[in-house]
């Protein structure tokens, strides 16, 4: 049996997108890992399924799996790609705003152009429990180092470390150590952020379940939210990641956070090893 898919990316965070509107999603973790393999499979950071919505207020549901086969609650670059995918499938027009259902709840997407999407990602949740974090002491031991983290859920868990320079030589080791830190019950996405100006950040993210990625949309939202909560940035911030730039807008508590950025098609394919 074969499996048709679209290969997409959002500033280098790459996806396999499956049309599950008529056909139920039925891949095992092992099959997801096989498709994720960049040598013997297709390769992706996340696999996305587009499915009928369970919530009647939403147009479609999207599922999200990391390259290691684990499921997660949200994916910022992924939801922009789902919106562009729906446009190509004739289900979403440019200029339209639609509610989509993620595993962590509804988000609103606005298709600005065939390849540009704004998303209301909801309000950042700073409660430690929302990120599976075990308490109020935000200093963590990473090997022989101690770092201060900001913890926030954007529908998935994030730990954000503010550094003077994201090229800090400790970052390559801190990424995996933070992602699997035992104080997070389910692992965490680890963001390392540098403030360039009041409205401009630089960010690198080591993602839970996928490793270092060229971009993490929810990571950009999390980094902005943590620095905004600390009064370090304004309400409209450009976040530069290794694969490109996202615009993040957040007035503050009581308001939703918006993420705006591109979504790109790479090719349509057929997985024959199913
Ligand atoms: N790349 C994503 C985040 C994907 C999920 C993450 N690895 C997790 O396990 O929560 C994004 O763009 O937000």
- Give the pLDDT confidence score for residue 274 in this predicted structure: 62
% of the chain surpassing 70 pLDDT: 99
Q: Is the CB of 209 under 6 A from ligand 1?
A: yes
Query: 217 alpha carbon to ligand 1 midpoint, in Å?
Result: 7
Is 133's pLDDT higher than 90?
A: yes
- Residue 135 sits in the same domain as residue 245: yes
- Residue 133 sits in the same domain as residue 223: yes
- Residue 113 sits in the same domain as residue 138: no
- Residue 244 sits in the same domain as residue 178: yes
Distance CA 19, CA 89 (A): 10
| CATH value at residue 54 | 3.10.310.10
- Give the pLDDT confidence score for residue 1 in this predicted structure: 61
Q: Is the CB of 49 under 6 A from ligand 1?
A: no
Counting ligand 1 atoms within 8 A of each CB, the residue from 8, 32, 64 with the most, and so the one to mutate, is 64
Q: For residues 146 and 2, which has the higher predicted lDDT (pLDDT)?
A: 146
116 is in an annotated binding site: no
Query: 57 alpha carbon to ligand 1 midpoint, in Å?
Result: 24
Which residue's CA lies nearest to atom 4 of ligand 1? 75
Domain span at residue 55?
3-121+262-271
Taking the mean position of all CA atoms in its chain, how far away is CA 173? 21
Q: Name the domain count of the chain.
A: 2
**Whether 75 is catalytic:** yes
User: For the residues 77-96, what does the mean pLDDT come to?
Assistant: 98
Over residues 175-196, the pLDDT tens digits come to 999 999 999 999 999 999 999 9
Average pLDDT for the chain: 97
Q: Is the CB of 124 under 6 A from ligand 1?
A: no
Closest to 91 measured CA to CA, from 51, 46, 47: 51
How many angstroms separate the Cα of 248 from the Cα of each of 39, 121, 206? 34, 10, 19
Beta bridge partners of 259: 119, 248
Over residues 6-44, the pLDDT tens digits come to 999 999 999 999 999 999 999 999 999 999 999 999 999
- Residue 145 sits in the same domain as residue 229: yes
**Whether 81 is catalytic:** no
Which residues neighbour 39 within 8 Å (Cβ) at sequence distance 6 or greater? none
């Amino acid at each position: 049996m074969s499996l048709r898919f679209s290969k997409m990316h959002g500033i280098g965070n790459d996806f396999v997108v499956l049309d599950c509107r008529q056909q139920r999603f039925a891949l095992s973790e092992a099959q997801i890992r096989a498709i994720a393999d960049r040598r013997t499979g297709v390769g992706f950071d996340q696999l996305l399924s587009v499915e009928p919505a369970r919530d009647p207020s939403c147009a479609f549901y999207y599922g999200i799996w990391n390259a290691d086969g684990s499921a997660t609650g949200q994916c910022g670059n992924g939801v922009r790609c789902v919106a562009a995918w729906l446009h190509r499938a004739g289900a979403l027009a440019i200029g339209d705003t639609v509610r989509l259902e993620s595993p962590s709840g509804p988000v609103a997407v606005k298709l600005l152009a065939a390849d540009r999407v704004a998303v209301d990602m909801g309000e950042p949740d700073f409660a430690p429990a929302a990120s599976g974090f075990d308490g109020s002491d935000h200093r963590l031991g990473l090997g022989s180092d101690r770092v201060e983290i900001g913890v926030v859920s954007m529908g998935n868990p994030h730990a954000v470390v503010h550094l003077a320079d994201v090229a800090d030589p400790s970052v390559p080791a801190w990424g995996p150590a933070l992602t699997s830190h035992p104080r997070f019950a389910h692992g965490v996405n680890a963001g390392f952020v540098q403030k360039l100006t009041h409205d401009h950040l630089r960010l690198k993210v080591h993602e839970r379940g996928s490793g270092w990625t060229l971009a993490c949309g929810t990571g950009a939202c999390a980094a902005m939210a943590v620095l905004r909560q600390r009064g370090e940035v304004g309400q409209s911030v450009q976040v530069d990641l290794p694969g490109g730039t996202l615009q993040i807008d957040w007035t503050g508590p009581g308001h939703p956070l918006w993420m705006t950025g591109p979504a790109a098609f790479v090719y349509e394919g057929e997985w024959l090893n199913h």
